[in-house]
Chain A
Amino acid sequence: DAMVIQNPRYQVTQFGKPVTLSCSQTLNHNVMYWYQQKSSQAPKLLFHYYDKDFNNEADTPDNFQSRRPNTSFCFLDIRSPGLGDAAMYLCATSRPRGLGQSTDTQYFGPGTRLTVL
């Protein structure tokens, strides 16, 4: 089945130790998103890729970076995790409905729960 896969499902890291979360998709969608979701809160968009074009949200900390080496894979790098970065990280994908319309149905992966010790 076509899907969005996130690895690992659970990640434990130490304060200040870089960590990378992985997302892959078999949907062949050209837009990939990373969201941060803290407990009992709505998902918050960090950034997204439209093909190879990176779009950062204005309030995303510099500590968060992303890479998209090809259509199928996207990575979230947290350079120096702090205690406040402990959260669920969700990856999503979509295929825009037309030129200039980036909003479309987003399909989410199962998430990676990050714990910072």
Chain B
Amino acid sequence: AQSVTQPDIHITVSEGASLELRCNYSYGATPYLFWYVQSPGQGLQLLLKYFSGDTLVQGIKGFEAEFKRSQSSFNLRKPSVHWSDAAEYFCAVGARDNAGNMLTFGGGTRLMVKP
């Protein structure tokens, strides 16, 4: 079974600073990988996804993520954080070859942005 680890429960960055949120997954084959963002009291919004091809994927709101097979990682980055980016971020993995498997989420990283 697949699993996802987001090592950082909370991260605080200053507005305008760069951001990297870590995500490590465990799965035997090439997975589907996703990053979602959740603002307080809201549902999950898809930021970006990786299925195949270019390992650097661009998403909405200026986010990007890089799939590194050798490190089993899919870290999320943004060069300059805005105060509106404060939210909870979830990394998720989906199994590619099991029809019965759903998304497995990491525990989430709460991002706080200092003015």
Contact = CB atoms under 8 A, between A and B. Distances in A.
Interface of A: 4, 6, 33, 40-43, 45, 48, 55, 88, 90, 92, 100-111, 113
B105 A43 contact: yes
Given A42-B105, A42-B107, A43-B105, A102 B42 contact: no
Contact of B103 (A88, A106, A113): A106
A107 B102 contact: no
Interface of B: 32, 34, 36, 41-46, 49, 90, 94-103, 105-108, 110
Contacts of A108: 36, 43-46
Most buried by A among B42, B90, B96: B42
Contact of B94 (A6, A88, A103): A103
- Chain B at the A interface: mostly helix, strand, loop or mixed? loop
Nearest to B6: A42
A113 B44 CA distance: 14
A103 B43 contact: no
A108 B103 CA distance: 13
A81 B53 CA distance: 46
A10 to B, nearest CB: 9
Contacts of B36: 108
B99 A100 contact: yes
A33 to B, nearest CB: 7
B42 A103 contact: no
Contacts of A48: 102
12 contacts: A42-B105, A42-B107, A43-B44, A45-B102, A92-B44, A103-B94, A105-B49, A106-B34, A108-B44, A108-B45, A108-B46, A111-B43
Given A107-B46, A111-B42, A33 B102 contact: yes
Nearest to B44: A108
Contact of A103 (B90, B101, B107): B101
B96 A103 contact: yes
B41 A113 contact: yes
